[in-house]
Structure 1
Amino acid sequence: MTGTINRVTRSRQSILADRHDCYSLVINTSPAAIGGTYRQNDIELRPGEAFLDAGEPQTILGQDHNNWIHLGIPKKLLDQSFAKIGEKQGLVARHDAEALRLLRNYLTLFDTGDAPASPSLADHVAATIIDLVGLVTGAKGDEAERAGLTGLRAARLEAVLARIRTDFANPELSAEFIGRKLDLSARYIQDLLAATGSGFSERILEQRLLRAKAMLNDPRHASKRISEIAYEVGFNDISYFNRCFRRRFGDKPGAAR
C-alpha cells in the first residue's frame, strides 16, 4: 500500500461490521516512522519494523507519504500453527530480525512476479509465509523449531537463489560471498542447495550458460566475440565455456548465432 493517507482509525463499530476474521501483519516500508495507538497503547513502527494486528481498535498516524505492507491471514490458519499468537498482537518486531527480513523479501518476490500456478506450490508458499509470520511474532519452543525447519529454510533458500540470479556473472561469486551478504555460513548454503538436487556450482553454471545463449541469439551482441560474451557472463576459461555450452545445448556456441 502506498499513498498520502496520514491517519487510519479502526473503531469498535467498524470491527463489529467487519466479517473478515483475520490477523494482519503490518510492515512499515516507508523511509520514516509511523505511529499511533493500538488497544490504547502507544505504538511506533520505524522503517522496516512490523506488528501483528488482530483487528483491535487503533489509530495509526503516518507522514505525508507512506508505504507499508498489509498481510492478511485468516486467524484459524495462524492459530492452528501457533497457539499463543494472539498474545503477540501489538508487539513490534525489529527491522533487523532475520525472519522479518526474509518475509519482506519473500513477499516482494510474489508481489512483483506471477502467483504460483499449481495448487501444491501455492500451498507451499502459503505455509512458508505462515511459518515466517509465526517466527516474526516470536514463536517459541517446538512451534519455532518446526517453523524454522520449513518456513525459514524455504525463505533462506529463495534468498540464496535470488542472489545467484543477480550475481551469477561475478567471477568471484561463491558460497562464502553469498553467505556474507545473507549472514549464513557457506556450509549451510551448500546444504540448502544440495537438498534441492542442484548444487551451488551447478546453479551458477546454468545461469551463466543461459545468459550466454541469450546473448549469442541477440542481434545487439552480434559484434561481440564469443570469448567476450563468455567472460561477460562469468567464465574465465574459453575452452571450459565451449565444453560446457556444447554439453548443455548439444552444439558449439557459434551455432547459436
Structure 2
Amino acid sequence: MKNSVIGDIGSNRRTMDCNYSFMTPPKSRSTPVHVSTDEFPVQQRLAKWREIYGRSIANVDIEPIGDEPFHASVTFQSLPGIGIVSGSRSPAHYHLTRQHLAGARDGFGISVLISGASTTRQLGREIVGRPGTAVVISGTDPSVSTMHRMGQFLTIVLPRPELAVLLRDLDSAYARQIPAENGALRLLVQYVNTLHAAGPLDAPPLAHAVASHIIDLAALALGAEDDVAHEAEGRGLAAARLQAIKTDIRKNLGDQELSATTLALRHGVSPRYVHKLFERDGTGFSEFVLARRLDCAQQMLKDPSFATRTISAIAFECGFGDISYFNRTFRRAYNATPSDIRSAALRLR
C-alpha cells in the first residue's frame, strides 16, 4: 500500500467505516481510493489494519473470528455530503462504541450485504443480513457489525438533516432492515456501483447532481411518500433507471434485437418511458445505441487481438445486421472508413 494514499486518507480521521460506522467522508474525495490488507505480509495484516484502518480511518475495534488469514479490502469515494464505501472482508466483529462516536457528525448509513452472512446489533436489536438486504444504521449510537464468513458489502453514509425533511420519521428506520425486494434499493446499489466504475467526478455540478440522486433514491428506499416520493422519482429514480438502462445497452450491444421495448420489459417500465429518459438526457435512444455500437467497432478495429477478424464480423459482433448501413454510419461518425481505421492502427503498431 502506498504511503501517500494511507497518509491522504489518514489525514481525514473521521472518514467512514465500511462496516456501518459513520464518520465524515474525506473532503473532495470524488476519486475512488482503494485500501487493502493484500499489501502486507499475512502475519502483519491484522496489526496493520488495526493501526491504519481501525485507528486512523474508521476508529473502530476489530475482533477477527476464526483462524483463517485476516483480509479486508475497501474502496472509498466521497460526494458532497455523502460517503460511499465498498469492499470485502473476512469474518470479524467491528465494534463502534460510544467513545468512538464522540464528535461524529449527524449522519446515518444504509449498508447493503452483497454476499456472505452478517449480523448487526444496535439499539437493542439484532438484524440478520442476507445478500441483497440492507440495514439502516444510526450514526450516533453504538453498534456491532459482524461478517460471519468472507463477504462483500456496500455502505452509503448519508446526511441526516437532508433525509429527515424527506421522511416522516427517519429515526424509526434505524436498526431496521430494507428487504432485497425493495426496487429503489436495487436501483440505488446499481447506481452507486456504476459511479465506482466510472471513476472521479471532477465537475462540482455533476458531483452535486449525483449526490442529489443518491439522496432521492435513499428516501424512496426508506419509504418516502406522497409529493416527496413523486419528486424523488422524477429526479433520482429517473437518473438511476437511465444509468441502469445504459449499462444494459453496453453489455448487450451485439444483440441485434436490442430495442426500447426489450429494455422496457427487462426494467419494468414502458418503451415510451425509455425514450423519455434519453430525451431528457439530451439524446435519443437510437442515437445512443448507434454511438455505442460504432465506438465498439472502432475499438475492435484498433485492437491487435482482433486483427484477423473481418470487418463484417466485427460489425456483426457490435450489433449491426446491415454492412452497408454500418459502413455509411461509421464513415459519417469518424470521417474515415473501417479499413482506414484498421490500417492506421497497424501503421502505428
TM-score scaled by length of structure 2: 0.68
How far apart are the structure 2 equivalents of 1:187 and 1:51?
Answer: 35
Determine which structure has the larger strand proportion and give its number.
Answer: 2
Determine which structure has the larger helix proportion and give its number.
Answer: 1
| Percent of aligned pairs sharing the same letter | 34
How far apart are the structure 2 equivalents of 1:140 and 1:126?
Answer: 20
Change (3 A) 1:224 1:65: closer
Write the mapping of 1:31-180 to structure 2, written as runs, cut at 5 A: 31-32=116-117, 34-55=118-139, 56-82=141-167, 84-180=169-265
Deviation digits for residues 33-60 of structure 1 (CA, Å, limit 9, x no counterpart): x224321123222211112212323333
How far apart are the structure 1 equivalents of 2:304 and 2:91?
Answer: 48
Identify which range, 83-92 or 183-192, moves more after superposition.
Answer: 83-92
- Paired residues of 2:116 and 2:147 also in contact (CA < 8 A): no
How far apart are the structure 2 equivalents of 1:70 and 1:219?
Answer: 40
Q: Any unmatched runs of 5+ in structure 2? A: 1-86, 343-349
Report how far residue 115 of structure 1 moved. 2.0
Q: Secondary structure at the match of 1:29?
A: strand
Identify which range, 167-176 or 70-79, moves more after superposition.
Answer: 70-79
Change (3 A) 1:165 1:181: same
Report how far residue 128 of structure 1 moved. 0.6
How far apart are the structure 2 equivalents of 1:221 and 1:120?
Answer: 39
How far apart are the structure 1 equivalents of 2:214 and 2:307?
Answer: 44
What is the aligned partner in structure 2 of residue 12 from structure 1? Answer: 98
What is the aligned partner in structure 2 of residue 186 from structure 1? Answer: 271
Identify which range, 129-138 or 59-68, moves more after superposition.
Answer: 59-68
Deviation digits for residues 184-211 of structure 1 (CA, Å, limit 9, x no counterpart): 2222112211222322211111111111
How far apart are the structure 2 equivalents of 1:36 and 1:75?
Answer: 20
Q: Secondary structure at the match of 2:315?
A: helix
**What amino acid is aligned across from residue 110 of structure 1 in structure 2?**
L
Q: Any unmatched runs of 5+ in structure 1? A: none
Aligned alpha-carbon RMSD (Å): 1.9
1:210 aligns with 2:292: no
How far apart are the structure 1 equivalents of 2:202 and 2:125?
Answer: 42
What is the aligned partner in structure 1 of residue 341 from structure 2? Answer: 256
- Paired residues of 2:110 and 2:156 also in contact (CA < 8 A): yes
Equivalent pairs counted in the alignment come to 255
What is the aligned partner in structure 1 of residue 57 from structure 2? Answer: none
Deviation digits for residues 78-101 of structure 1 (CA, Å, limit 9, x no counterpart): 234435322321221111211110
Deviation digits for residues 165-189 of structure 1 (CA, Å, limit 9, x no counterpart): 1111211111222223222222211
Identify which of 83, 89, 111 aligns with 1:3.
Answer: 89
- Paired residues of 1:85 and 1:139 also in contact (CA < 8 A): no
Identify which range, 239-248 or 126-135, moves more after superposition.
Answer: 239-248
Q: Secondary structure at the match of 1:104?
A: helix
**What amino acid is aligned across from residue 53 of structure 1 in structure 2?**
I
Change (3 A) 1:38 1:214: same
Change (3 A) 1:117 1:36: closer
Q: Secondary structure at the match of 2:217?
A: helix
What is the aligned partner in structure 2 of residue 227 from structure 1? Answer: 312
**What amino acid is aligned across from residue 92 of structure 2 in structure 1?**
N
1:196 aligns with 2:281: yes
- Paired residues of 2:106 and 2:159 also in contact (CA < 8 A): yes
Q: Secondary structure at the match of 1:26?
A: strand
TM-score scaled by length of structure 1: 0.91
Report how far residue 112 of structure 1 moved. 2.8
**What amino acid is aligned across from residue 52 of structure 1 in structure 2?**
V
